[in-house]
Structure 1
Amino acid sequence: MTVEEMAKKVLHDKLFILDVRNDEEYKKWKIEGKQVESLNIPYFDLIDGVEHLLEKLPRDNRDILVVCAQEGSSRFVAEKLSEAGMDHVYYLQGGMKTWSKFYHSELVAADENLKLFQINRLAKGCLSYMLISEGEALVLDPGRKTDVYVDLAQKEGVVIRHIVDTHVHADHISGGPELAGKTGGTYYLPSSDVQDGTVLFEPLENHPQITMGKVVVEVLAIPTPGHTPGSTSLLVNKKYLLSGDTIFVGGLGRPDLGGKVKEWAQMLYETVFTTIADIPDDIYVLPGHYSTVAEINDQHIVGDYLGDIRQRNEIMRTQNRKAFTETVEASDSSEKPPNFDKIVLINRGLETVTPEKATELEIGPNRCAVHHSTPEPD
């Protein structure tokens, strides 16, 4: 089964996954979906036979997908299960390594002035966006696989003019500089996040408004520090808040990854209760990440109205500064994104790695949230 075929089942169908990686790898990171059930049995427990496993597998019409790190072990196990009489058994081509690099595009909105796509890196919960108007496109928070954005632009018949990173990312390597080189578009980044970096960029703070196309689409850059000092959100057409890692469907961006949790927690408080305080509840928030599949709605989009996020998320109602900052500061003890120090250096242009090493650095979930609440069931 290809990653494209698996993604359709993860989003639209039922799927049973037999993960044959070791226990530690499985606990850190696994394939999830609203109708996905998974079982972890390490490969080394199956080398001598799969008969003892059969009673643990479903006998209904669900597909059984065997996964491992890179394909070899899962192919072996899938073949043994088929020989044992199991139907609907497949292995994942390329394994989890290939899954980690898969991107899925979903149309969020379209009218006479604007098209808005959300590009979901399902394996990591990383979200990026493409805004289209009158033959031009803006890409927000692009991932490392830049061909995804080039191909989408070609499919839509548009030219990428603007590439924006809302902040210097710690959980994934940005595709912004590479995409700017491929397309000739301008790469924007908040300069306060770059420090002594060498990456070439246009300071985002110098462009509070970016226009696209003959019909002016307001893209207002709003400084929303807290996750990082330069974190910026984009307000599009007074309808959509592309919030980067500042506001999630289920929480706020964690401010401890720069080693200044107390200082940045104060910034986050000001962002929540001053900067965005007057943004109306009916603005639709589209974040840069999500933590659980529960945050993907029935339209297969990660997003929600700001009023619902405020109502559901206790920390966004905690107006007492001391209580708010103490809760945020507690995130300093949370598990950090894998390899975040090295990824930040790469995104600031201070270090380079091979594509193979980049894939290795990015494998695993994002951990950019300080606080999450579970969305209410639809």
Structure 2
Amino acid sequence: MAVKTVTAEELRDRIQNGEPLFILDVRNESDYQDWKIEGNTVQSLNIPYFEFLDDEDVADDQLPDKNTPIVTVCAKGGSSQYVGEVLDGKGYNVASLKGGMKDWSQVYSDTLVYQDEKLKLFQINRLAKGCLSYLIVSNGEAAVVDPGRHTNFYTQLAEREHARITNILDSHVHADHISGGPALAKQHGADYFITTSDLQGTPPFEYKALEEHPFIHFGDVEVEVLALQTPGHTPGSVSFFINKQFLLSGDTIFVGGLGRPDLGGKAQEWAEMLYDTVFHQLNQLADDVLVLPAHYADKSEMNEKGLITAQLGTIRQNNQAMQTQEKETFTEMVASAASTKTPPNYEAIIAINRGEKVTGEEEATELEIGPNRCAVHHHG
């Protein structure tokens, strides 16, 4: 008899509700080490599928008691179904993740960051990839920042908030995921903003150049989006300063690190740009500004509300590179710390985001599989 399944959305809800969960991941060890399901109440164990083929009792001494919910996980849902059936036959409380990590890679969740009478700000977390995007709602209008390609999520969230999407902003040309910006703009008749220098040519979609629109107003006029030029991760990277309170920092500055400058093959040159950004652009901002990045590396960066955020002052204190004011030392540290592992398929993804390459749903899913690798982590 087939074991019961749990969808990626159901699994997300259980993790967000703080339910204790035991994940048995049956992919190869290297895949598991690279990229796995995490959460504050999640325990996980990796025993590759082929070990169960050799010995169905291989996991017995490492599993929890038979009342604890176990979810078996593999790449696409087949192997985990088999292992689930083995455990079900032994009396365990088990379900298999339908669609495996492939489906998990496409799940989003939203958390309210802040609200007052003028605006509501949501952080949207694509859990499997550590990609973060934002929805800002004001007076019936909404702006979306750094959207993923699954545009329905943003449309539904805006509808839930009784708002019309009028502005979409990308902080840079992303290397680890396909942007939903152009598609979302088309669907909603909204303006799409990105820097010209990151596009490197004329894309087949309409856009407004951020260098020509440093201030974007929508909803209540006090919702001011100031596009700060913050090159380093890419030459055209910008951060969005909302109402002088929130810095939506793209991949320039993270809760636990800085954007890696090596994806354009110019690590030294872009690291120097990043130095100027950190010590000349961002040093003007107060310590109590709340930083909201476009990525995070692991759940240690998540606070008790499930948000990835920190005050700029805290990040300055904890980040070794940001305390290194000597330019040569900083650039050397950042350029050399850029991990040798680049985001999977990043050249194809950049080409799609610039409009140079067209892709279908299946290929897009395959291209995006895996974690983001856009940060350089340097804790003090």
Give the TM interval when normalised to the shorter protein.
over 0.9
Is 1:217 the counterpart of 2:228? The answer is no
Distance in 1 (CA, whole Å) between partners of 2:83 and 2:282 is 52
Paired residue for 2:235, among 224, 229, 235? 229
Is 1:353 the counterpart of 2:355? The answer is no
The answer on whether the counterparts of 2:234 and 2:270 sit within 8 Å (CA) in structure 1 is yes
Distance in 2 (CA, whole Å) between partners of 1:214 and 1:9 is 36
| TM-score, normalised via structure 1 length | 0.96
1:144-159 counterparts in 2 under 5 A?
A: 144-159=149-164
Distance in 2 (CA, whole Å) between partners of 1:290 and 1:372 is 13
What residue in structure 2 maps to residue 177 of structure 1? 182
Is 1:32 the counterpart of 2:38? The answer is yes
What residue in structure 2 maps to residue 193 of structure 1? 198
Between 1:19-28 and 1:110-119, the stretch displaced more is: 19-28
What residue in structure 2 maps to residue 100 of structure 1? 105
Aligned CA-pair RMSD: 1.4
The answer on whether the counterparts of 2:142 and 2:163 sit within 8 Å (CA) in structure 1 is yes
Identity %: 54
Give how far 1:263 is off: 1.1
Give how far 1:192 is off: 0.6
Paired residue for 1:265, among 257, 268, 271? 271
What residue in structure 2 maps to residue 2 of structure 1? 7
Which string of whole-angstrom CA distances, capped at 9 and with x for unpartnered residues, describes residues 237-293 of structure 1? 111100000010001001110111111111100000000101000000000000010
Matched residues, number: 373
| TM-score, normalised via structure 2 length | 0.95
Which residue identity lines up with residue 102 of structure 1 in the other structure?
V
Is 1:241 the counterpart of 2:241? The answer is no
The answer on whether the counterparts of 2:222 and 2:243 sit within 8 Å (CA) in structure 1 is no
Give how far 1:373 is off: 2.9
SS of alignment partner, residue 330 of structure 2? helix
What residue in structure 1 maps to residue 53 of structure 2? 47
Task: List runs of 5+ in structure 2 lacking aligned partners.
Answer: 1-5
Is 1:208 the counterpart of 2:214? The answer is yes
Task: List runs of 5+ in structure 1 lacking aligned partners.
Answer: none
Give how far 1:10 is off: 3.0
Give how far 1:48 is off: 4.9
Is 1:255 the counterpart of 2:265? The answer is no
Is 1:329 the counterpart of 2:304? The answer is no
Give how far 1:311 is off: 0.5
Paired residue for 2:309, among 295, 303, 310? 303
Is 1:110 the counterpart of 2:106? The answer is no
Give how far 1:196 is off: 2.1
Distance in 2 (CA, whole Å) between partners of 1:324 and 1:64 is 46
Between 1:147-156 and 1:323-332, the stretch displaced more is: 323-332
The answer on whether the counterparts of 2:215 and 2:224 sit within 8 Å (CA) in structure 1 is yes
SS of alignment partner, residue 52 of structure 1? coil
Which string of whole-angstrom CA distances, capped at 9 and with x for unpartnered residues, describes residues 211-235 of structure 1? 1114431111111010001100011
Distance in 2 (CA, whole Å) between partners of 1:96 and 1:372 is 29
Which residue identity lines up with residue 30 of structure 1 in the other structure?
K
What residue in structure 1 maps to residue 3 of structure 2? none
